[in-house]
Amino acid sequence: MASKACCSIPPVVTSDYTPKGTYSEIGGLKTYVTGDKNAKTAALVIFDIFGFYPQTQQGADIIAAAGNHLVVMPDYFFGSPMDIKVFPTDTPEKQAKLGAFFGNEADLSKAQANTLKFVPALKEEYKSIEAMAVIGYCWGGKVTALLSGENTLFKTSIQIHPAMVDPENAKAITIPHMILASKDEPADAIAASAENLKNSSNEAVKTRSVVDTYPKMFHGWMAARANLSDPENASEYERGYKQIVNYLQDNLTTAA
């Protein structure tokens, strides 16, 4: 669904981006905070395994500015994200390093537990918040799916070029949900996730969920691995954030 309520986002800065937010400690986590601190709506952004990156922070700034939301990005890796130089994982050493990271810093159960602690602390800090979305990139997209089930803390959720796509996760989702996939995600798993959302017994999930694939884009085009000096990537990055902002307008702003 495309809302006409939001027709523009701030211009995408293609190089040397200076993040507009600030850092604060919330719930024991270093957190990037951007947007209206008196907003009724907030978005929790769960970054990819590379942590705080200008491309991801610019995305958070866009969501905050265009949607008038408070946007927060906590550091679930406690200052020890994955080194982006590990990609491509073309040596046994790099593969071992990545595997160890997923077994420790990027453990999915830890991320879910951190969220359950973080959200109450956030709402205590910013008492105007009435409704929240959760948005996750790559690894964070998997965490987002797991946070979108029964008794979720969120009104809507968005996965962006998600990692570890499992159609079974989509069956458990209980809130309007959007997936923006690249050509690198498994097409069969994306299609099956879309089918499970469409067949949900939850009317809001069934009628308001969106699954869209960006066929020319690679895994990571909207987060740390985005190459915004490439005109095509920059254009699709912009299109993706417009789609996110409009989806939040329809499914988060109206819930507050």
Return all residues near 241 (Cβ < 8 A) that are at least 6 apart. Answer: 9, 12, 59, 62, 63, 66, 222
Q: What average pLDDT does the segment 208-235 reach?
A: 97
Single out the residue of 187, 131, 130 nearest to residue 157, CA to CA: 131
For the stretch 88-107, pLDDT in tens is 889 999 999 999 999 888 99
What percent of the chain is predicted at pLDDT more than 70?
A: 97
Residue 153 pLDDT greater than 60, yes or no = yes
Average pLDDT, the chain: 95
Single out the residue of 122, 177, 189 nearest to residue 144, CA to CA: 177
| pTM of structure | 0.95
Task: Report the pLDDT value the prediction gives residue 1, as an integer from 0 to 100.
Answer: 40
CATH of domain 22-255: 3.40.50.1820
**Partners of 180 in the beta sheet?**
160, 212
Single out the residue of 240, 255, 185 nearest to residue 210, CA to CA: 240
